[in-house]
Homo-oligomer: A and B are copies of this chain.
Amino acid sequence: MAYVKQKLWGGAFSKGPDPLAWSFGQSIDSDSELWASELDVSTAHVKMLGETGIITSEEAGQLECGLNAVGKSILADHEKNGGTWGDVFSRLAPDSEDVHAAIESLLEKEAGPVAGKLHAGRSRNDLVATTTKVWLRAQCQILRRRIRETQRTLLSLSRRHRADPMPGFTHMQSAQPVTLGFHLLAYFWMLQRDVERVAALERCLRFSPLGSAALAGTSLPIDRHFTARELAFEGPMPNALDATSDRDFVGDALHVCAMLMQHLSRLSQELVLWSGPMYGFVKLDEGVTTGSSIMPQKRNPDMAELIRGRSARVIGHWTAFMSMMKALPLGYNRDQQEDKPPLFDSFNLCIESLVLSARMLETAKFNLERMAAVAGDGFATATGVAEALVKEGVAFRSAHEQTGKLVRMCEEQGVSLPDLEVDDIAAQRAVRNATVEQSIASRNSYGGPAPGAMDIQIEEAEALLCHPDEGGISSATTHLTPPQGDPSQARDDKKRKD
């Protein structure tokens, strides 16, 4: 049998592609991830073709049924044989150039020659942009849910440890005593900004490129508002050339992922430090640590290290994407195909890292005694001394200077601040109160670690999580998406299958 490549072009060509060129150019290995979104988009498209009379309503019905059947056969194959979506397509539609060609060829198997009517009034240029947006929209929902879960973990731990003293650091040096709950809440608010960033990203996805065709629309009487509505977009993008050249939403998505990974990387850095022997603040659960092939005693915080290391990968993805786009003239250029692998990888990575971060925190054993014991090290309560002098009327600049000298006296005498003997009565009073407990209790300004301020902060955090759902676009069109949805889920599924 002749060797047939599945592709959506070729009439003007006198010969087939060079084999290396074919394998270099095919994208089915990565874009098969989009199949469910592609089916949603194609379904909306055929409905529109029927509504506008470009094809008959009977044909539209056949195509819609066919697309439905394609979805079922894909899921059935995956159910039976497992593997990645790329594996599924290499079984069902081998030698396809991309997910578009693969699905059109599967549709032909299911629906017969009417499949040839699917692609009227559209091009891969608008199709892939629309499909990627629909995919991204579904991912945003998953991502937000996962962020919320990690926030819940942080909030719950913060509540439990609201009053457990620990050293606060700046420049990685002793700064002021804080509490473990106060420290963990900082991450809650970082993730809160990530939730807002995801919501802003969803707004970037609200217009549909579909029907822009190759670069400048079509002479067929399509209805772009119809498909936009069907796919739950706010409306169609107003310029077809822009719609097919634009990848802003990919850049925005990569930035959102990079910022989230930065936050998780910082948390991971702290877990690595804290679980090390010099800090000794926490013992991570064995389930999220690994050992050494040579050193029998080792329990390494590998998950935290990998999250920290892989955060760099998303930085690289953004850089590669921006570097790729930076000097492309309009409209679509093939370089743009390079947008999807980093996008898919970044979302997978974010979601898995969120789950693992929460798991590390939930199962960690904090060494509260150790933390409390070192909370006052390094004259960490000195600021309180200076502020006590201010309350006595000393200008802050002088109080700071004076306290600095008290610290030097302590160092020279080898005593701690509360134990220092000084002549000045105000100063004496100030150092006496320079204990860890007093220090924490006194910093009651909004956002501080004192019990009262912490109550308010926890309450505000709780209020944010109470909202039943912060919305996003309704999932009307994503009925097929779940099975490929959440990679941390998928991994487990895959394992069970193997």
Nearest B residue (CB) for A403: B296
Q: Which residues of B contact A279 (CB under 8 A)?
A: 278
Contact assessment for B309 and A334 in the assembled complex, using a CB-CB cutoff below 8 Å: yes
The A interface, classified by DSSP as helix, strand, loop or mixed, is helix
Asked whether A222 is an interface residue with its Cβ less than 8 Å from the other chain, the reply is yes
User: 1/0 contact trace for A274-308 toward B, CB 8 Å?
Assistant: 01111100000111101111111111111101101
Q: Which residues of B contact A468 (CB under 8 A)?
A: none
User: 1/0 contact trace for A401-438 toward B, CB 8 Å?
Assistant: 11111111000000000000000000000000000000
Asked whether A125 is an interface residue with its Cβ less than 8 Å from the other chain, the reply is yes
Asked whether A164 is an interface residue with its Cβ less than 8 Å from the other chain, the reply is no
**A443 is contacted by which of B217, B311, B342 (Cβ under 8 Å)?**
B217
Interface residues of A in 163-222 (CB under 8 A from B): 167-176, 178, 182-183, 185-190, 193, 196-197, 200, 203-204, 211-222
Contact assessment for B300 and A12 in the assembled complex, using a CB-CB cutoff below 8 Å: no
The complex places the Cα of A300 from the Cα of B488 at a distance, in Å, of 39
Contacts A9-B298, A316-B323; A306 near B396 (Cβ below 8 A): no
Asked whether A485 is an interface residue with its Cβ less than 8 Å from the other chain, the reply is no
Q: Which residues of B contact A18 (CB under 8 A)?
A: 285, 287-288, 359
User: 1/0 contact trace for A109-141 toward B, CB 8 Å?
Assistant: 000011111111111110000000000000000
The complex places the Cα of A212 from the Cα of B224 at a distance, in Å, of 51
For the complex formed, measure the closest distance between the CB of A385 and the CB atoms of chain B, giving whole angstroms: 7
Asked whether A492 is an interface residue with its Cβ less than 8 Å from the other chain, the reply is yes
Contact assessment for B396 and A120 in the assembled complex, using a CB-CB cutoff below 8 Å: yes
Contact assessment for A295 and B383 in the assembled complex, using a CB-CB cutoff below 8 Å: yes
Contact assessment for A292 and B329 in the assembled complex, using a CB-CB cutoff below 8 Å: no
The interface size bin for chain A is: 35 or more
The complex places the Cα of A32 from the Cα of B432 at a distance, in Å, of 40
Contact assessment for B448 and A217 in the assembled complex, using a CB-CB cutoff below 8 Å: yes
Q: Which of A34-42, A73-81, A386-394, A473-481 lies at the interface with chain B?
A: A386-394
Asked whether A16 is an interface residue with its Cβ less than 8 Å from the other chain, the reply is yes
Contact assessment for A173 and B298 in the assembled complex, using a CB-CB cutoff below 8 Å: yes
**A218 is contacted by which of B119, B352, B443 (Cβ under 8 Å)?**
B443
Contact assessment for A11 and B403 in the assembled complex, using a CB-CB cutoff below 8 Å: yes
**Copies of this protein in the complex:** 4
**A169 is contacted by which of B119, B291, B319, B330 (Cβ under 8 Å)?**
B330
Q: Which residues of B contact A216 (CB under 8 A)?
A: 168, 175-176, 178, 182, 443, 448-449
For the complex formed, measure the closest distance between the CB of A264 and the CB atoms of chain B, giving whole angstroms: 10
Contact assessment for A170 and B215 in the assembled complex, using a CB-CB cutoff below 8 Å: yes
Contact assessment for A326 and B215 in the assembled complex, using a CB-CB cutoff below 8 Å: no
Asked whether A19 is an interface residue with its Cβ less than 8 Å from the other chain, the reply is yes
Contact assessment for B395 and A446 in the assembled complex, using a CB-CB cutoff below 8 Å: no
Asked whether A398 is an interface residue with its Cβ less than 8 Å from the other chain, the reply is yes
Asked whether A4 is an interface residue with its Cβ less than 8 Å from the other chain, the reply is no
Q: Which of A64-72, A142-150, A234-242 lies at the interface with chain B?
A: A234-242
For the complex formed, measure the closest distance between the CB of A481 and the CB atoms of chain B, giving whole angstroms: 21
The complex places the Cα of A331 from the Cα of B236 at a distance, in Å, of 42
Q: Which residues of B contact A359 (CB under 8 A)?
A: 18, 20-21
Asked whether A262 is an interface residue with its Cβ less than 8 Å from the other chain, the reply is yes
Contact assessment for A211 and B300 in the assembled complex, using a CB-CB cutoff below 8 Å: no
The complex places the Cα of A448 from the Cα of B298 at a distance, in Å, of 20
The complex places the Cα of A298 from the Cα of B221 at a distance, in Å, of 23
Contacts A175-B214, A404-B291; A286 near B14 (Cβ below 8 A): yes
Contact assessment for A222 and B326 in the assembled complex, using a CB-CB cutoff below 8 Å: no
For the complex formed, measure the closest distance between the CB of A359 and the CB atoms of chain B, giving whole angstroms: 7
Q: Which residues of B contact A278 (CB under 8 A)?
A: 273, 278-279, 374
| With A7-B291, A12-B404, A117-B396 already in contact, 6 other A-B pairs whose C-beta atoms are closer than 8 Å | A171-B334, A173-B301, A182-B216, A186-B239, A187-B242, A197-B252
| Cβ contacts A to B, 26 pairs, < 8 Å | A11-B401, A12-B291, A21-B359, A122-B294, A125-B170, A169-B276, A170-B295, A170-B300, A172-B273, A173-B298, A175-B216, A175-B292, A175-B331, A182-B241, A186-B245, A211-B445, A218-B443, A236-B446, A240-B445, A266-B327, A293-B400, A296-B401, A306-B334, A315-B320, A319-B319, A319-B320
